[in-house]
A and B are shown apart, each in its own frame.
Chain A
Amino acid sequence: MSSNGRIAPSTLSVKDLPWQIHWNKDKCTLCGHCTAVCPVHAIELGVYRKRVVETSVGLKEAPSNVYQVYHGIRQKTDPAYACVGCAMCNLVCPNDCIMPFRSDEADKLKYHINRGGQPRRRGGRRNVPGGILDQIKFIRISMLTDPALDAGRHEFELRTLLGRVLPPEEDLRLLNEEGWAPPVREIYPLIIGGMSFGAISPNMWEGLQMGVTYLNEELGMPVRIGTGEGGCPPRLLRSRFLKYVILQIASGYFGWDEIIRDIPEMKEDPCAIEIKYGQGAKPGDGGLLMWHKVDKLIAAIRGVPSGVSLPSPPTHQTKYSIEESVAKMIQAMYMAWGFRVPVYPKISGTTTAVAVLNNLSRNPYAAALAIDGEDGGTGAAYNVSMNHMGHPIASNIRDCYLNLVKLGKQNEIPLFAAGGVGKNGNLAANAAALIMLGASGIQVGKYIMQAAAGCLGSESDRCNICNIGLCPKGITSQDPRLYRRLDPELVAERIVDVFLSFDTELKKIMAPLGRSTSLPIGMSDAIGINDKAAAERLEIRYVV
């Protein structure tokens, strides 16, 4: 703002902004890299006038004014151009002279990013640090009581089952009668959750798939990845790599005509079909892929015309109840692949999860239940949905598991947990905690974005602009000028690194428990927490 300009209610000072650009005039070489790279135009070249009143000592001569004009980097304070803290400016600066800093003051910008009556929407994450999963400790360390295992030396079978596991007598009966038994997959317990082709850039998507395929084919790790609801490239559908893929169907039904028409061409069955009823990023809300993101490529994969907005409503339009969804959709999806592919629903974390689970437990076709807790999410959503809607995953998965225990079906219908797993970087510890609370496996999305592609999003609301297609790392953009910054091969490498190191860490947790060949699903005597209320709620040991 000019020094004598007017102020409006939304006129902010740099001090009011959550991210403040510190620029060092002495070090700057005015190369233009920072302003060229800034995704939101938060900085620009500014013209500055410097005044010096030259006054002689002793006042022997009349003082004079000397003006100098210099150029430098200026931060805009218009809320529409507020710095998002991505620090790309610093990344490209040859002289280390520019850097965004988080304000030491409460963010005033948040009161103003609702222009035109449109509440803030953003990509990414919940923006709430902490979380219960990090507080859970693994307290059962085998000290001469169980066979103490060596994570480095012993062999581990880190596998979980995806699919309906029948009671042994039922299984035997079907075997004898040669009846139909539900398909079950033996897979790695850490699954890359569904992030759609469209929400994610082509290079990122390919990198993820390539990494997963490498893990399977080169390293023998049966890692699986969800497609999200953007359809699936036909080449992948017709390749043998399809078996590493969990196809998602959601309320937008995008790309399903392509999938259906490709069924006769498929060399392999997909790992599973996930029916999305809800997601952690925006529990109870739908999605909208904006028209400008629907380029020719996205349109081709989703089977829609390009340049139109693509809504995924919060609900499936013709499904009015979970009973109906179970009856209609699960059965229909089984039929598509001749009852050879497990089908399971994914819901947002909710107090009604137990009701859903009870319903599924009575349906022999329900292969699993995936619950996406409030703390996660890679999708674009309203701020309010992201920060305030949904149910934490820990007690949700615990309630479901204990309910299965009550039914005596805890080994029959696997639960998959997601939502904030690894949000503070402790992926294996969080995953192990959820497994011991009762999850058969973990879905992870956000962590993968951060670890495999360098997503800058953070709980302190850094970046989080995935929703407007400006991802400075090229992860969530459909603009080739951005996504070509990302090399699919390097993403794939990182996926491999992430899974190998996760594997080691999970072994480091499991070995002292004396477990090496089966996951400690529901082994809640091995975990404790130093929060009495949480301990009581989760029915685990209170330790101090």
Chain B
Amino acid sequence: MDIQNQQSYWIAGKEEGRRLESRGLEERIQQAVSEGHHFLKVKAYGQHGIGGRLWRAGAEPVYLEIHGSPGQRVGSMGFPNTRIEVMGPASDDVGWLNAGAEIILHGHATNGVANAMAQGKIYVAGNVGARAMTMTKHNPHFDPPELWALGSMGDYFAEFMAGGIAVVCGYDTQDPDNILGYRPCVGMVGGKIFFRGPHKGFSHVDAKLVSIEDQDWEWLVKNLRVFLEKIHRLSILGQLSNREQWQLLVARGPHEKASKPRRSMSAFRQEVWDKELGTGGLIGDLTALDRTPIPVITTGDLRRFVPVWENRKFVPPCEASCPTGIPVHERWRLIREGRVDEAVDMALAYTPFPATVCGYLCANLCMQACTRQRANMVAVDVKQLGKASLDAKLPELPALAGHRIGIIGGGPAGISVAWQLRQQGHEAVIFDMEKTLGGKLTSAIPKTRIPEAILNAELERVRKTLPHVHLHQRLTADDLKELKADYDFVVIAVGANKPRILPVPGKERMIPSIDFLRQSRQDSAKVGKRVVIIGAGNVGCDVASEAHRMGAEDITMIDVQEPASFGKEREDAEAIGAKFRWPVFTKAVTEEGVELATGELIPAGTVIISIGDQPDLDFLPETVTTERGFIVVNDMFQTTDPQIFAIGDTVRLGLLTDAIGAGRKAARAINDMLAGKQPRVDTRQMIDYSRIKLEYFDPRSMGFGDIEECADQCASCGACRDCGVCVSICPQGAISKHEKGSEDFEMVADPDRCIGCGFCAGACPCGIWNLVVNEPLA
């Protein structure tokens, strides 16, 4: 059907000299169409929206020819039945929301051409303004919309274009250097753009250039002819039909957009960063340290912490608290290893009285300090081991090397120092007023406290080993001078045998405890029925027990403060019914008994004083300093006279084990000095209790049947017991046992496997493994 051959219907935009407003012209056009006029010629005077919405024609085509100056939105919401031809240029937004109309412009178009167009075609015979072909759609139910322009596009062309085809012929353009305008295709998600001529870039994020396939070219050539026919410029078809001159832009797909083209950081580092700065980057000139990335969990040098096997680095609490310094845990280890004899014999290297002291008389400070006590568990029973040591064999003594040491006093301290010195090959001669060696062991310790046979057996062992000079008179200062000349060193171990007496009226009535105990030991002491003991310490308790044994019935022990007595002595005194009273102060001792500062009288037939003893040091030369009646010594029991040592109660009142330990320490210093060496001091520290894991032991175990059981329950603080827990717990399997000779071994963590987690330290029952900061990297 050739509608243009029909009779046209003329509508003027001006009536009676007055311009119709847009609404008036729209009403007239719609009226005409509904009356059956399908070929309209409109003379426009700037009215907007001409030619859209002509649905009243139904399926019939409508042709609209616009003369004059149309306003904005020509063909807006155009229907597929509509063809609009503007005989000159057009204003903004031609074909806005076009739903199918064909719109031909014979002049230029201003901004917004085809904005939001979904169907239809717009042919422009000139240039186009800004924001053309923006927000266009392609509804899959219909053909895509098309925008054809003979010239060029304005700025922001094809923004958010979501479908349709734009063709920019680049003929007689507004800007010959750029036919697509400034920043085209921003946000473009669909459709294609054929163009011919130069451009100044487009949004590469959103669009890309593709080659024109034959199918595209066929379409373009075919439709180019249509376009040129519509705008009456078929003559230039040949000029525009050079395939080489055309390019095609299409929208990138969503997945293509994600990969915005930019240089990778590693490429940037290589190609820009290191190139400008030099190899190694920012500080490559300052350090050779490897700075490449490492994992969080590392091995070898890269571990922040490393385990160390600190076997025997620390002293266990038992050894540390034993004044004699016996390594008790080592003895338990030997027993665990089935070497009971060695464990027993080992005692004699430390003390001449393992059975007497460790087994009976000692307060066993080792047990008080035992780690097990920290968790309310029963301490390992050292008394059992002590008693077993009666059978200890002394190793063969070394030959004498020529040095001689004179020891004054044959009590526990003197015997200890002589015992040690003899074992080191020195001649140690003991001078004592008594016929036999033993000191207070033989004179002042009640028989009830230790079986006579045990004490005698150990004393016999001592007597066989050590020479003894029986003095018949008290030593004088001149004697000492002689001793100093004859011996390399002199050790004073005379003990404290001078009783302290209270300076109160009737003091002559008091019996010194030392005298009483000596007599009671020989069963020759005499006591009244009522006895008062002044001083309620452990010696006082011994006195009470002995007084009871000798026939006393009513025993009162008084003290100026809470009595310091403890342990077996105290228990025994309480058991025989001794009454403890404190604080009370003695005013006088009378025939009736003890008169107190308050005036009260405690009746007594016998009053025994037991407030301590003092050494008798008349024979000391001036070179030896004393303080408050005791000899002043340094850490190794050397007096202010370097040739003279002093040990035991002459230095400070103490336990038997204190006296024995002092002997050991003095002997070691003397031995070192005789060898011309700086005397050794044990600098090892006690192990921290918290390193020991008692959770491995039974907390309900109440006692020990035999020494083997004791040995099993010893946690072996600070000394590896080779239990294998570390080997098993290590998550990396890094720990293994390495033999060191036939006797020794060590646990080793392989640095190439170890991650420094510290599990070995956490699990080790004995507290051997420790986790320490790794050495700094150079």
Contacts and interface: CB of A to CB of B under 8 A. Distances in A.
A50 to B, nearest CB: 9
B759 A296 contact: no
Nearest to B293: A487
Interface in A399-457: none
Contacts of B732: 32
A481 B263 contact: no
A537 interface: no
A480 B276 CA distance: 25
B539 interface: no
Nearest to B302: A481
A401 B265 CA distance: 39
Interface in B372-401: 374-376
Contact of B698 (A5, A67, A153, A496): A67
Of listed B183, B277, B287, B305, residue having the most chain A CB within 10 A: B277
B777 A480 contact: yes
B277 A484 contact: no
A501 B54 CA distance: 48
A488 B755 contact: no
A489 B282 contact: no
B277 A36 contact: no
A118 B287 CA distance: 35
Contacts of A318: none
Nearest to A88: B296
Of listed A209, A214, A297, residue having the most chain B CB within 10 A: A214
Contact of A45 (B187, B729, B756): B729
Given A47-B695, A47-B763, A484 B291 contact: yes
A210 B303 contact: no
Interface stretch (A158-166, A199-207, A333-341, A520-528): A199-207
Nearest to B757: A32
A528 B731 CA distance: 59
A4 B699 CA distance: 13
Given A4-B374, A32-B731, A236-B282, A217 B265 contact: no
Interface residues of B, number: 63
Interface stretch (B233-241, B267-275, B481-489): B267-275
B738 to A, nearest CB: 22
B382 to A, nearest CB: 22
Contact of A234 (B285, B375, B777): B285
Contacts of B730: 32
A413 to B, nearest CB: 33
Interface in A460-496: 479-490, 492-493, 496
Of listed A91, A295, A480, residue having the most chain B CB within 10 A: A480
Contacts of A203: 291
Interface string A209-249: 11001100111000000000000011110011100000000
A213 B277 CA distance: 12
B374 A71 contact: no
A485 B294 CA distance: 5
Interface string B718-743: 00000000000111100000000000
A36 B292 contact: no
A2 B774 CA distance: 29
Contact of A47 (B292, B293, B304, B693): B693
A92 interface: yes
B289 interface: yes
B282 A484 contact: no
Given A30-B731, A481-B298, A45 B286 contact: no
Interface in A160-207: 202-203, 205-206
Given A482-B304, A485-B293, A488-B281, A241 B762 contact: no
A36 B755 CA distance: 7
Interface in A24-38: 29-37
B282 A202 contact: yes
A218 B296 contact: no
B327 interface: no
A535 B488 CA distance: 96
B278 interface: yes
Contacts of A92: 296-297
Given A480-B289, A480-B777, A36 B305 contact: yes
Contacts of B731: 29-32
A342 to B, nearest CB: 24
B285 A46 contact: no
Given A210-B268, A481-B304, A297 B763 contact: no
Nearest to A492: B265
Given A4-B374, A36-B297, A235-B278, A44 B273 contact: no
Interface of B: 159-160, 183, 186-187, 262-263, 265-266, 268-269, 272-273, 276-278, 281-287, 289-298, 302-305, 374-376, 690, 693, 695-696, 698-700, 729-732, 755-759, 761-763, 765, 774, 776-777
Closest 9 CB pairs of A and B: A45-B762, A32-B757, A49-B695, A36-B757, A32-B731, A487-B293, A47-B695, A484-B294, A47-B693
13 contacts: A30-B729, A32-B730, A44-B758, A47-B695, A209-B282, A239-B276, A296-B287, A297-B287, A480-B291, A481-B298, A481-B303, A489-B265, A496-B265
Given A45-B759, A47-B765, 9 more contacts: A33-B757, A34-B757, A202-B283, A202-B291, A210-B281, A235-B285, A481-B304, A489-B269, A496-B265
